[in-house]
Structure 1
Amino acid sequence: MIMKNLPRSLQSVRQHRLFRPGAGLVLASLLSASLAFNLNKAKLFLADSETDGLETAAGLETKTFATAPMTLNLTNMDIDVKGRVWVTEAINYRLQHNPENKARPEGDRILILEDQDGDGKADKQKVFYQGKDVDAALGIAVMGNRVIVSASPNVFVFTDTDGDDKADKKDLLFTGIGGVQHDHGMHTFTFGPDGKLYFNFGNEGKQIKDKNGQPIVDQAGNVVADNGKPYRQGMVFRCNPDGSEFEVLAHNFRNNYEVAVDSYGTLWQSDNDDDGNRGVRINYVLPYGNYGYQDEKTGAGWSAYRTGLETEIPLRHWHLNDPGTVPNLLQTGAGSPTGMLIYEGKLLPSQFQGQMIHSDAGPNVVRSYPVTPDGAGYKAEIVNIVKGVKDQWFRPSDVTVAPDGSLFISDWYDPGVGGHQQGETQKGRVFRVAPANTPYTVPKMDLSSANGAVKALQSPNLDTRYQAYTALQQMGRKGEKALAKLWKTGESRQRARALWLLSKINGRGEKYLKQAYQDKDDNIRITGLRAAQELKLDIIPILKAWANDPNAQVRREVAIALRYSKSPEAPAIWADLARQYDGKDRWYLEALGISSDLQADAFFTAWTSKGGGDITKATDQDIIWRSRSAQALPKLAQIIQKTSNAAELPHYFRAFDFHANSPEKQQALASLLDGNSPAQNQITTLALQASDQSAQKDAKFQAALRRTIEASRGTKQFVMLLEQYGLPEFNQDLQALALTNPESEMARDAARALVKAPGGIDAVAKAFNSKDPQVTQGMLTAVGNYESNQVKDLLQAVMLDTKRPLEIRQLALRKLGSGGSGEDRLVELVKNKKIPTELEETAGTILLRAWRPDIKEVAAIYFKKPSREGKPLPPIAQLATMSGDPVNGKAVFAQSCSVCHKVNNEGAWFGPELSEIGGKLPKQALYTAILHPDAGISFGYEGYTIKLKDGNQVVGIVSSQTEDKMDVRLPGGQVMSYAIKDVVSKKQMDKSLMPANLQQGISEKELVNLVEYLSSLKKATAKN
């Protein structure tokens, strides 16, 4: 047998499908010492059992192309013209968070995997490059002898100058991108049909600099940075291969992992939500669009209060009710989306041809999202291609297309999905998906002739297309005849590829663009317009001719083309486009908005001069709502005054937030303070909330404010207005609200508003000293968690007052010890022996259960740690094999976890929601998350210590931050807001806010039951 001829270290590797911890390390070191090795005789590493846990779509089969030890921890992949698979590895992924993982001192590798004997399985591996500078690279794009590697904070271009499959030259293309090895940094590059590079970064990218470290200014004149001027969060980019003509094509994504470009130049990508919110989305990228992860104007987080916010969190997550947010093509629920492509081959079944194919590591699936036109946009459905049904460690990190049209999948293979955590370092797989019994073949490429190059241009493989494009571009007019034949007789997408090249032939390009403008295929016409824009040709005659085109997608392109136009005819063209809005197509409405935002007044004037702006028409109301013109403000007020449906009022008032503070805005809002509408009280309330603070000087405003507050007693609006404007004559009403149901959100908000109001702290002190114990207890409960020195002083006085009942003093102590400043204060009291004997046990319980490790360490000196009864827990691998009782586990969750996590709307929102966690993480990963929370902190849930000017210290999660305000979510889910002017510092904690000693409070059996319950929490719809 072959196995007998191998060293013992190799024999042991395949004894079980899952590697034991540390297995294969010796082998891995042997392999990395050589630049190439041959596995012709070692087929045992490519066993069919690798696919046993995978379910493949009908008509297709999944086969193993490569696996460990040839491939380890694969993060990204590409395939070259020879059919060889290039992969990036991540042995050294976030080692500071995974100290138990053995580092690779030489650095991670870029590998080339080759099938030499044509049996569909890799038998040769080469190390193209190895170094610490590419540790856990998240992107690789092979373009001839150049390889672009994304490894934040850098983007490198490696060049093989002599054809020996080794990197001979390394150049810096971009730098200054986010943090080192951050999953939300720079992602992979892709070659576009126009000869340009397309790429993106997530919301940790922050900014991008050129190879000399200078900030990049894009073609619109903006510094490319996440600073709100104008861009925010994740972005999509386009540039020439040398980095010039840099453009930001869209922004305000969270972690848009990989952009895919079809032959027409249309962009598609996925975006991940804040973990646990079931808002993963697929986007058609409307050029220059805002995609709503943060408030476009202020940068506020999606969970921050805003007028008209959506009821459902997956929708609220993307600010979809805001004017100026591009709609989502599709929302897929929970997940960890990764690589994406547009499949433009013929080998796979027809339903996948011309469609997105996407890997989502969270639900262990590779999917397609077949799209069909829908007005100016699209609609899509979900079709699975490969699903990890029995194998929850299947973590597809990327998908790509080989020259023969077969699909390749790289598998990171891990119990988790990254997020700074890695549980398996000695495994990784590559799969090939094709119709059954289809051998892996590589078509020969001949670039020596124009006909050969045009044939290669039609390949489904990007490297082949890149090399063909480059060859034809160099041929110039010599390649025109062959390209013209494809342009005349080819299929639509092939014709589009030919058009991009034909349009750039000196002296001949406009001939073909004119043909494209007259084409019957709308996609070809759109491609022609896009090509003309890139060539900076005069397109105004085309825009005028197409402004009344019957196809909404063509008109969408006309609108986008007007965004940066300086032509005096542009406003009139936009007015014609606006007149054709049907009142239903949000894609079209946003295209109009993107088109007009930079020239809002001129475009609005042209529209109204042509009969637009009729406030009685639903279509015109939408355009007024979306417009950023100051001329829209009085019309917006008129619409509100005539609105009979009170439920629609927040929708229209939200539009005011997207207009800069100005006399025109305040005048429009002031006009809404008086009226005869049945919903006048609500209108006035919303107008007061939207008004600038300068309006308070106006007598009419003050009268309306008091009148509205009087009329809204007992409501959320009542509390919000008093917190915003602070009127002491209503302190007694706030106190009554705080005492009505002290544990409710309304009571906490009322107590907070009371503390902020003039004379409010005196009212709190009076309640604390009330002879009625219910009043005292109620106010302690409602106001106790508020971070205020004055409140903490009052709580301390109650706690130390021996004349009070013990239960009141204990409650005061618990409230005193809550929050960052409270814990610090309580520690000082303990150190100085100022805690009365009868309260020591309560103080110890508070401090030993604190979130901050430094507090626990101090507490351990003075108090005995609680210990879990019984023997030490077995290893996680053993725990993961145990079965438990999910019903009992649900009870454990309610007792120990629901204070910070929600499941199906039950519990508190502090950490990630866990409603579908069982579909994302197997038991081993769940145990790791519970027992070692510091190993992987979800991005967006990091803890911060915030120091305030008044000496208070707040510990929590920063859920939103703008130029003026910071929202901090505290353990238990309460959100506190602080003015930025009152914040001295904000420091990220290096530890998780989830207590690392959770298991000390529950038995082994309860822990097993808890994990059994969590693993049962999966998405109900099996289709997805």
Structure 2
Amino acid sequence: MSSILIIPCKFIHHKNSPVMRYVALVCLLTVFSFQKNTPPKLSPEHQKALESLRVMEGFSVEMVAAEPLIADPVAMEVDENGDMYVVEMHGYPLDVSGSGKVKLLKDTDNDGYPDKSIIFADKLTLPTGIMRWKNGFIVTDAPDVLYLEDTDNDGKADIRKKMLSGFALSNPQHNLNTPRFELDNWIYLGHEGAVTPFVFKKEFGDKGTDIIFPDKPSAARLAPNANGKAVRFKPDSYELEELSGRTQYGHSMDAWGHHFYTSNANHIYHEVLANTYIKNNPALLVPNATQNISDHGEAAEIYPITETPNHQLLTDVGVITSSCGITWYEGGAFGEKFNNVTFIAEPVHNLVHADILREAGASFTASRLNEKSEFLASKDAWFRPVNFYVGPDGALYVIDYYRQIVEHPEWMSDEITQSGALYNGTDKGRIYRIVPHKGLPMNWLGKLNLSKKSAPELVALLDHENGWYRRTAQRLLLHRQAKEAIPALHALLKKSKFSEAKAHALWLLDGIQAIEKEDILQALKNETAGVRENGIRVAERYLNAAFGKELINELTALQNDESPKVRFQLLNTLGLVKTAESEKARLAILQRDIYDRWAGLASIASFAGKENQIFDVAIAEFTNKPTAETSEFIANLASTIAGGENKTGFSEMMKKIMAEAPGTEAWKAAALNGVANRLQFQKEKGTVLLSEPEKEKLLAHFSPTATSELRIASLRLLEISGFPKGKRLDEKIVQAISALKNPSTLTRQGSNIAVYRAHAIAFLSMVNSNELKSILQQALTQKEPEVVQLAALKALGKTADAQTYRFLLNEMKGFAPALKKEAVNVFLSKPERINVLLKAIETKEVEKSIVGWQQMVRLMNYYDTDIRAYARKVLSVNEDRKAVLQKYMAALELKGSQSKGQLIFEKNCATCHQIEGVKGVNFGPDLSTLRSRNANSVLTEIINPNNSIADLYDFWTLELKNGSTVAGIIAQENTNNISLREMGGIVSVIQKKDIAKMQKAEQSIMPNGLENAISLQEMADLITFIKKQ
């Protein structure tokens, strides 16, 4: 039955906005004909699916669309006229033949719900996202970003062109995705590095090429596959930029432009430091520009209600393992509690998880919205939420891929891949609509007509509570370059009580080249921090304008702003202003915020070439209040100074480090470690610009009275720079030898004599003392503290010869476990030594079991192919994995003990893995992510690690130009640097210019054979511990 609706004001504009009075009744009362908001009758199957859902109290769920109207939906968009478009990815997981589609959904019976679909575009490979742009749509479909347009109004795209190209066509879970038009008039793309396939190399082995605009190759371009980072671009001006973070499937921004990402087990993290500012200081090495913000951790525990999970799915309690589709809710219809809420889809667990975000310095903290339940969950094991959309009505639209299996066969057993079930559900798919119990009218489909609104009417929509209207209006006005909107935009900036509207107006004025000085000044003085923050960003674009000097004065006046995020943005922006006033303001902010690591990094970036100006501030604050944050800041600062072009600045810093002053040992140690970290991978050691007197002062720290931190940091740098020559060095050698031969003489000179003697061994190995070998062998054959013996073994690794190999092979059998491990490391340090060890194992001179699990990982993945083959031959285990698995199936029938399983984990797994973010080393995947699988699946992963190689855990060996090698997992990468997480969890930042060769292991880091160290009962205990049962 038809009726006339006068839309309630709260769904059209912010209730306090006087701008709506400026634009009389045009948007305040929008009138159109529509059917009463009654959802159509569902089929029994769809009704059952709807009834299987449980939503947070205060909300209800409706089904908006389902098969046969749609199938395999992954994304949707609603254009300015209310037309609804849905992206279908039929090809997942293996079909790259071009089965993907975009459908236009129509309401032909005028009940407000779609009942007809038209194929708008087809022959897409694996489409992942859609966004309205001008008269068409941007669709992400690796390797391309496509523009599709229907010019003859038949509902089908007749224009298809590539806007960007070069992205890797990798595993579908990791391709570029989710184009979003954002507040600053840029289009943002979700993206991360290509995943190396071991099984489906033909389909997904593409690594990508340079990212280019195909219709203008001479325009801006990015490195191959954008270095695995997210990307933003402006099609009209051919601007293209690599961001500092990466995301898997989905990304989102809040109302102020803060950018949030998601990835499998890490469901929410924040890009804090933008690449734009990092690039201001090429000498600054930033291991990671994003902040994990969940206060309930990675692989966070969640609460599914699935009734009949199959063997790939969850039991009653699991952890996040498949996070995707992150969406900041700004629909304005869920109540004040939801003003700072994000949603993530968790398809493996059949649920939607929600977090509420709170300010935390330059970043945020994300806490559970509900403590022991989820925002939405289903009893149906095929319910697969993968994405969301906040509609024109403020409702949250949940996109349900609806498949039996959503894990990719790259990481599943052959049995599952060959079962025929991979595409079960490919003819199905649903879109749900979540609304408050009071309801929201479904009255927008095909009936919005924003394209016909005048410029003042669209400006009025910038004042809307619902972000959909604000972004849509901004996009339309930007496309029109609507100069006639300027008076209304100025009025909105002056009079609106809705802060978000002011941010949109500000950026829109910038986008249509109509901004004035007063617009920016108003924003900088606004009472809302988000408006001031965006005012600073916009001001940054006009620093060189005629009124730029006045802007700079206003910017520097903000140095004492009460908001940490305003001060953080000010640090970044003022880094572009090379004046004394700017430097003074940045120093003031640093002094206030030095305990926020992001403020420290921003300060270093902003003082490019003048880092010494903040060194005094750093050491003063550290002396007053030493913390881990200030220690990290000083190390980063010293590293940057050491890596910069300003050699005078480096000398000045070293003079301050050398100056004698009480209470300075801690910051000096931090600074020296920062320098050593930066220079350890340089091509030629001994090239650090240290004078002989400076070297002698560093050498003076080799003393039993110095702190152990300062002593070892000084020795690290001396090993790189070269030791001083002459009498002082000889005296220290004698002192070290005496400490080792006659430790009783040291009892009154220091509190930790054993550590000092260990450092004495390290020192003697660095200077190649002639007496070292006998001292080391004596230390290993006599009763000495373990720390001394470990140091002796490490020193042997630098001096070993054939005689030493024979000594170690004879003695190591009787070593304690920690010493035995280090003795094997001596052999693993050089290729020729590895062959000696493998030969001894092959001839049974030493037992194969002497090689620890982590060491076996290194050998099985060694970069030298001959050594790798020899190791796999000598250390071979039962390669009939099916037989081994069958044997250990008996463990599943035994009762396991969590406490005993923890001991097994700590002994055999913790060297590479954590569980729940603790209890081990952050190197391989967190094993709590296996908790979601049944015991059979967990056992399979342990027995046959090559059955499921975790994505983003490729093992790389880097041969450096200085002759050394390092190996690990690439944690982050940008144009200049690689952050490598080595075994042990240590992250090293290595400049690409120092790398000679990179080689990736072809198999799982974890080799077969763990079962040799674990009995059936111990396996039962380990699985019980992992599954927390």
Q: TM > 0.5 between the two?
A: yes
The separation in 2 between residues aligned to 1:40 and 1:959, in whole angstroms, is 49
How far residue 172 of structure 1 moved from its aligned partner, in angstroms, is 1.8
One of 108, 116, 119 as aligned partner of 1:127: 119
| Alignment partner of 1:756 is 2:785 | no
| Alignment partner of 1:59 is 2:58 | yes
One of 196, 209, 213 as aligned partner of 2:186: 196
Which amino acid letter does the alignment assign opposite residue 941 of structure 1? Y
How far residue 244 of structure 1 moved from its aligned partner, in angstroms, is 2.4
- Counterpart of 1:333 in structure 2 is 298
8 A Cα contact 1:89 1:109, kept in partner: yes
The separation in 1 between residues aligned to 2:113 and 2:979, in whole angstroms, is 54
Which amino acid letter does the alignment assign opposite residue 298 of structure 2? G
1:108-155 deviation digits (Å, cap 9, x = unpaired): 2334455666778654334332325x32x3333233533222333322
The separation in 2 between residues aligned to 1:946 and 1:615, in whole angstroms, is 35
TM-score by length of 1: 0.70
TM-score by length of 2: 0.70
SS in 1 for 2:458: helix
The separation in 2 between residues aligned to 1:973 and 1:577, in whole angstroms, is 33
The separation in 1 between residues aligned to 2:670 and 2:614, in whole angstroms, is 21
- Count of residue correspondences: 885
- Counterpart of 1:687 in structure 2 is 714
- Counterpart of 2:334 in structure 1 is 348
The separation in 2 between residues aligned to 1:958 and 1:546, in whole angstroms, is 39
8 A Cα contact 2:74 2:129, kept in partner: yes
The separation in 2 between residues aligned to 1:615 and 1:1015, in whole angstroms, is 43
| Alignment partner of 1:168 is 2:158 | yes
| Alignment partner of 1:92 is 2:91 | yes
The answer to which of 437-446 and 655-664 deviates more is 655-664
How far residue 169 of structure 1 moved from its aligned partner, in angstroms, is 1.9
- Counterpart of 1:540 in structure 2 is 549
- Counterpart of 1:498 in structure 2 is 505
The separation in 2 between residues aligned to 1:290 and 1:776, in whole angstroms, is 50
* Change in CA separation of 1:961 and 1:174 when aligned onto 2, cut-off 3 Å: closer
| Alignment partner of 1:656 is 2:665 | no
The separation in 2 between residues aligned to 1:50 and 1:666, in whole angstroms, is 78
Structure-to-structure mapping, 1:502-901, within 5 angstroms: 502-503=509-510, 509-534=516-541, 537=545, 538-549=547-558, 550-551=560-561, 552=563, 553-566=565-578, 570-575=582-587, 577-578=589-590, 581=592, 583-597=594-608, 599-600=610-611, 627=637, 628=640, 631=649, 634=652, 638=656, 642=661, 644=663, 651-656=670-675, 663=689, 671-674=697-700, 678-691=705-718, 693-696=720-723, 698-699=725-726, 700=728, 727=769, 729-735=771-777, 751=793, 753-757=795-799, 759-769=800-810, 774=814, 783-784=823-824, 786-787=827-828, 788=830, 790-792=832-834, 794-795=836-837, 798=840, 808=846, 819-820=859-860, 846-849=875-878, 885-887=895-897, 894=904, 898=909
The separation in 1 between residues aligned to 2:870 and 2:795, in whole angstroms, is 29
How far residue 396 of structure 1 moved from its aligned partner, in angstroms, is 3.7
* Change in CA separation of 1:729 and 1:151 when aligned onto 2, cut-off 3 Å: farther
8 A Cα contact 2:719 2:766, kept in partner: no
SS in 2 for 1:189: strand
- Counterpart of 1:209 in structure 2 is 211
One of 239, 249, 267 as aligned partner of 1:245: 239
How far residue 686 of structure 1 moved from its aligned partner, in angstroms, is 0.6
The separation in 2 between residues aligned to 1:1008 and 1:775, in whole angstroms, is 30
The separation in 2 between residues aligned to 1:767 and 1:969, in whole angstroms, is 26
8 A Cα contact 2:912 2:920, kept in partner: yes
* Change in CA separation of 1:344 and 1:713 when aligned onto 2, cut-off 3 Å: same
One of 906, 926, 931 as aligned partner of 1:913: 926
* Change in CA separation of 1:666 and 1:70 when aligned onto 2, cut-off 3 Å: farther
Which amino acid letter does the alignment assign opposite residue 345 of structure 1? G
How far residue 763 of structure 1 moved from its aligned partner, in angstroms, is 1.6
SS in 2 for 1:269: strand
Which amino acid letter does the alignment assign opposite residue 47 of structure 2? A
The separation in 1 between residues aligned to 2:521 and 2:868, in whole angstroms, is 78
SS in 2 for 1:173: strand
The separation in 2 between residues aligned to 1:261 and 1:800, in whole angstroms, is 58
The separation in 1 between residues aligned to 2:130 and 2:214, in whole angstroms, is 22
* Change in CA separation of 1:588 and 1:774 when aligned onto 2, cut-off 3 Å: closer
SS in 2 for 1:155: strand
- Counterpart of 2:270 in structure 1 is 283
Which amino acid letter does the alignment assign opposite residue 469 of structure 1? Q
1:261-292 deviation digits (Å, cap 9, x = unpaired): 3444x22212548x7xxx66521534347899
- Counterpart of 2:43 in structure 1 is 43
Which amino acid letter does the alignment assign opposite residue 568 of structure 2? R
How far residue 493 of structure 1 moved from its aligned partner, in angstroms, is 0.6
SS in 1 for 2:433: strand
Structure-to-structure mapping, 1:996-1015, within 5 angstroms: 1014-1015=1026-1027
How far residue 407 of structure 1 moved from its aligned partner, in angstroms, is 1.0
1:657-690 deviation digits (Å, cap 9, x = unpaired): 5777853799867644436995345313212213
The separation in 2 between residues aligned to 1:954 and 1:651, in whole angstroms, is 23
* Change in CA separation of 1:297 and 1:587 when aligned onto 2, cut-off 3 Å: closer
The separation in 2 between residues aligned to 1:419 and 1:405, in whole angstroms, is 37
Which amino acid letter does the alignment assign opposite residue 887 of structure 1? S
| Alignment partner of 1:425 is 2:423 | yes
8 A Cα contact 1:175 1:210, kept in partner: yes
The separation in 1 between residues aligned to 2:610 and 2:923, in whole angstroms, is 42
Alpha-carbon RMSD: 5.8
The separation in 2 between residues aligned to 1:619 and 1:781, in whole angstroms, is 35
1:975-995 deviation digits (Å, cap 9, x = unpaired): 999999999976545544556
8 A Cα contact 1:146 1:158, kept in partner: yes
* Change in CA separation of 1:923 and 1:281 when aligned onto 2, cut-off 3 Å: same
Structure 2: give runs of 5+ residues left out of the alignment: 1-38, 195-206, 300-319, 417-421, 642-647, 680-686, 741-752
The answer to which of 148-157 and 456-465 deviates more is 456-465
* Change in CA separation of 1:436 and 1:92 when aligned onto 2, cut-off 3 Å: same
8 A Cα contact 1:615 1:638, kept in partner: no
| Alignment partner of 1:476 is 2:487 | no
* Change in CA separation of 1:777 and 1:617 when aligned onto 2, cut-off 3 Å: closer
How far residue 826 of structure 1 moved from its aligned partner, in angstroms, is 10
* Change in CA separation of 1:225 and 1:125 when aligned onto 2, cut-off 3 Å: same
Structure-to-structure mapping, 1:368-447, within 5 angstroms: 368-375=354-361, 377-384=363-370, 386-388=375-377, 395-412=384-401, 420-421=410-411, 424-427=422-425, 428-436=429-437, 438=439, 439-442=441-444, 444-446=448-450, 447=452
